[in-house]
Homo-oligomer: A and B are copies of this chain.
Amino acid sequence: MGDVAQRLAEIVGANQVLTGEDIPDHYASDEALVGEVHRPAYVAKPATTAEVAQLLGAATEHGVPVTARGSGSGLSAAARPRPDGLLISFERMNAILEIDTVNHVAVVQPGVTLSELDEKTAEAGLGYTVYPGEMSASVGGNVGTNAGGMRAVKYGVTRHNVLGLEAVLPTGEIIRTGGKPVKTSTGYDLTQLIIGSEGTLALATEITVKLHPRLRHGATVLAPFTDLDTVVRAVPTILAAGLEPHILEYIDALTMAAITYTTGLSLGVPDEVREASQAYLVVAMENRDPDRLEGDVASLGELLGELGASDVYVLDGGSARKLIEAREKAFWTAKAAGADEVIDVVVPRSAMPEFLARSRELAAKTESGVAGCGHAGDGNVHLGVFQKDPVKRASLLHDIFAVGMELGGAISGEHGIGRAKKEHFLQLEDPAKIELMSRIKHAFDPAGILNPGVLFD
């Protein structure tokens, strides 16, 4: 055991440190489809904030780069360690510290999974409303990447649902930012700065999140359309009607075929309608009052008809749940179908038709394929990209990202930049902003030990 491993063992205990061949494969990777995978030099599993602080102190002392890991379900390679690095796995810091039913907040450690938090909050009639589609994801990982998901159209993304953090700075100090109040105006918002920083600024060791009352009555509506443009053009009108859907997704025909086939799901759409459909809209609503919900479903059905839906199906509970689950697994379906990359450009929702049209044109020109689905209410388009040649693919991605930015959007709505999209980010983003971000990085992490190679070179 080397000097560094020895020091790590002193901090967390020898049985909580792994090195060399003892490190299981899964610590080397996350779910990004691209990029190199390296086993780290060390894995340490702290149990307390104080141990995290000491680990960062030791890493600084020995010049060892540090990557944080939650559940490893990220899609941007931000949780992939360096071969010479220390991977801090938060798997043991997985306690739900408090469900506060008066202030409607929960306080959790970063290793808590969304599914654990969901179960525990349900007991109190409350819920944490960020559902990025992978319930094994950790809250800490969600903070790192500013995770989103289907319910963001009503409840916002991680950024809008985290009120406070305890975090360890790379300099070893432990700070507390924000807290249970829903607002403060006392200096710079460090909570918001750390959220989405992909493990490059500080490591969150305790997270205070907003909870919402669970609404007991829900309905899911499926509407096929004969073309994709009509679907995405319908979205602003649905939102303007004030029906407040918590899910508003589009799914293109190819993706719908794949996810229903994979999951053996039958939605009751007659063959002739299905064959003529190029895309689908899935709209879910919820209410504390069943009569109000019924009224809203009727209004929505009428509206969808006016907006050009070929038909409107109100799905029963079982089918609805299965469709939402199948949609959540769209990433796995795309992966199984051989997608070479999955991207999540976000644009103003009015720009979705143009973005999709131009992406398809760019794909056709390079003999590539794009297909997908997305959070239509947010303008967040998830595309599977099919192009085996890495050079052609990089060029296609560059062009698609550039179109998204030109339309007033960004490279990623919720997956993050990580290592996977860094090259494009650094090429396409304003150099003045990259410069400013790297100065902010330096303000937090003068020694540069936190996740080097993520976001910046």
Contacts and interface: CB of A to CB of B under 8 A. Distances in A.
Interface string A186-205: 11111011011100010000
Contact of A413 (B105, B184, B192): B184
Contact of A181 (B145, B173, B380, B437): B380
Chain A interface residue number, banded: 35 or more
B182 A378 contact: yes
Contact of A417 (B169, B185, B215, B239): B185
A408 interface: yes
B409 A179 contact: yes
Contact of A410 (B146, B179, B239, B434): B179
Contacts of A417: 185-187
A436 interface: yes
A57 interface: no
Contacts of A146: 183, 185, 189
Nearest to A434: B187
A63 interface: no
A156 B181 contact: no
A185 B85 CA distance: 25
Interface stretch (A35-43, A44-52, A347-355): A347-355
Indicate how many identical chains form the complex: 2
- Of A156, A173, A187, A444, most buried by chain B (CB within 10 Å of CB) is A187
B443 A440 contact: yes
A180 B408 contact: yes
Nearest to A188: B437
A102 B236 contact: yes
Contacts of A452: none
A228 B425 CA distance: 54
Given A179-B410, A181-B380, 4 more contacts: A186-B411, A186-B416, A187-B434, A189-B195
Going nearest first, the 5 A-B pairs with the smallest beta carbon separation are: A439-B443, A192-B192, A180-B348, A184-B410, A102-B350
9 contacts: A148-B185, A180-B408, A182-B379, A184-B412, A186-B429, A187-B434, A190-B436, A213-B240, A439-B443
